[in-house]
A and B are shown apart, each in its own frame.
Chain A
Amino acid sequence: MHGNLNLAVKMVFVLICVVFVSVPVVLSNNNEVSINITAIMASHETDSIDSDLMPIADEFKTLFSYSSYKKIKKYTVVLKENQSDRIVLPQEQDLVVDYKGLDEKDNIAIHVSMGGVLNTDFTLIDGGHILIGGPEYEDGVLVLLFEAKF
């Protein structure tokens, strides 16, 4: 009788361990990524940088010779593996974002198509950034900041 009770306690303990281990794995295998795309207008209009862009202001100053960086719009696309989403950029250009899944280094693989002008495949780490810029917009150029969270 006592032995059976001990066995039952051990079984419950093992079951609890299995549940605790499997729940985070199931949750983490949701395969959903959130990709933030911030449309920024870089120009020589003023000498100001939007407060939202201050964390990356130093990086911009190193990269570009523009004096003004203005956040125009922020898009967020949440995608599952092999899903894609289309957004319309401020200069009325289509941008298609396609999440292809995780690569061998567990980085997310993304395909971006920008109105036939650019097609590119790249990978991002969790929290990683990539910039695509160059298209003319108003009195400056459009810079797209891609950031992935998964």
Chain B
Amino acid sequence: MKHNNKNLCSLVQAYFDGQINQDDLIRFKAHLKHCPNCQNILRKLNSVSDFVKSTQESVPDKAFFDTIWERVEDKLVQERLSVFGMMQGWIDNIFYYVRFFLKPALAVCFIFLLIMLPHLEKRVKDGVHVALRVESEIKRIESKTNVMIVKTKPKRWTVIWVMPPQRGGGKSKCMEI
């Protein structure tokens, strides 16, 4: 089959697709060396092909799935190591900044302690009393009638119970406790 130059140019697509017979292939290759038009077309086809190949997703092979858990574990270990590294960095920073803030911080604590000391002392005293639950203590009692003093168990409250007056009145009795 005879081909002129124009016919040989029409084989460029078949050549690019690899669908060309042996005779045409020899002739087209000889033609391609001298035909800038075919060279240009072939260059464009190649560039389009490369672009399409580059945008295609790569499908992982079987080995990828076989080793996936090992790689996940490795990644976790690396992340854990990076957290420790970060903490180490913080600790180093703390020691670095302590040099600057230690004195002011101690001064602030000292002032705070001085301010709070009277209140703390009172709180502690009250706390001791509350803990022992001695809410009240009777020191002295005087009455014309009988009086009963009761201390409750759960909270140790004190109750002074004044009995009804006796007929004809009574002498006032006093008791120091």
Residues of A within 8 A of B (CB): 13, 16-17, 20-21, 24-25, 28, 58-59, 62-63, 105-107, 109, 114, 116-136
Q: How far is the CB of A58 from chain B (nearest CB, A)?
A: 8
Sampled A-B contacts (18; CB under 8 Å) = A28-B118, A59-B152, A63-B150, A106-B122, A107-B129, A118-B141, A120-B140, A120-B142, A121-B138, A121-B141, A122-B158, A125-B134, A128-B135, A129-B135, A130-B157, A132-B160, A133-B160, A134-B161
Contact A131 B158, beta carbon cutoff 8 Å: yes
The number of A-B residue pairs with CB atoms under 8 Å apart is: 117
Bound CA span A124–B114, Å: 28
Q: Contacts of B160 on A, CB cut-off 8 Å?
A: 118, 120, 130-134
Q: Which of A13, A17, A119, A128 contacts B136 (CB 8 A)?
A: A128
Q: How far is the CB of B145 from chain A (nearest CB, A)?
A: 7
Contact A134 B162, beta carbon cutoff 8 Å: yes
Q: A118-B147, A122-B136, A134-B161 are in contact. List 11 more A-B contacts (CB 8 A).
A: A17-B111, A20-B111, A21-B117, A25-B118, A59-B157, A62-B153, A63-B159, A128-B129, A130-B135, A130-B136, A132-B162
Q: Contacts of A129 on B, CB cut-off 8 Å?
A: 135-136, 157
Bound CA span A131–B174, Å: 19
Q: Contacts of A130 on B, CB cut-off 8 Å?
A: 135-136, 138, 157-160
Residues of B within 8 A of A (CB): 107, 110-111, 114-115, 117-119, 122, 125-126, 129-130, 134-145, 147, 150, 152-155, 157-165, 174
Does more than half of chain B's interface fall in helix, strand or loop, or is it mixed?
A: mixed
Chain A, residue nearest B155 (CB): A59
Q: Contacts of A116 on B, CB cut-off 8 Å?
A: 144
Bound CA span A122–B159, Å: 11
Q: Contacts of B164 on A, CB cut-off 8 Å?
A: 134, 136
Bound CA span A122–B117, Å: 29
Chain A, residue nearest B112 (CB): A20
Q: Contacts of A136 on B, CB cut-off 8 Å?
A: 164
- The CB with the most chain B CB atoms within 10 A, among A17, A127, A128, is that of A128
Q: Contacts of A126 on B, CB cut-off 8 Å?
A: 126, 129
Q: Contacts of B143 on A, CB cut-off 8 Å?
A: 117-120
Bound CA span A136–B164, Å: 8
Q: Contacts of A25 on B, CB cut-off 8 Å?
A: 118
Contact B139 A121, beta carbon cutoff 8 Å: yes
Known: A62-B152, A117-B143, A120-B142. A24 touches B115 (CB 8 A): yes
Chain B, residue nearest A120 (CB): B141
Chain A, residue nearest B174 (CB): A119
- The CB with the most chain B CB atoms within 10 A, among A28, A109, A122, is that of A122
Contact B135 A117, beta carbon cutoff 8 Å: no
Top 10 closest pairs, chain A to chain B, by CB = A134-B162, A128-B135, A119-B142, A130-B136, A121-B140, A121-B139, A125-B129, A131-B159, A120-B141, A132-B160
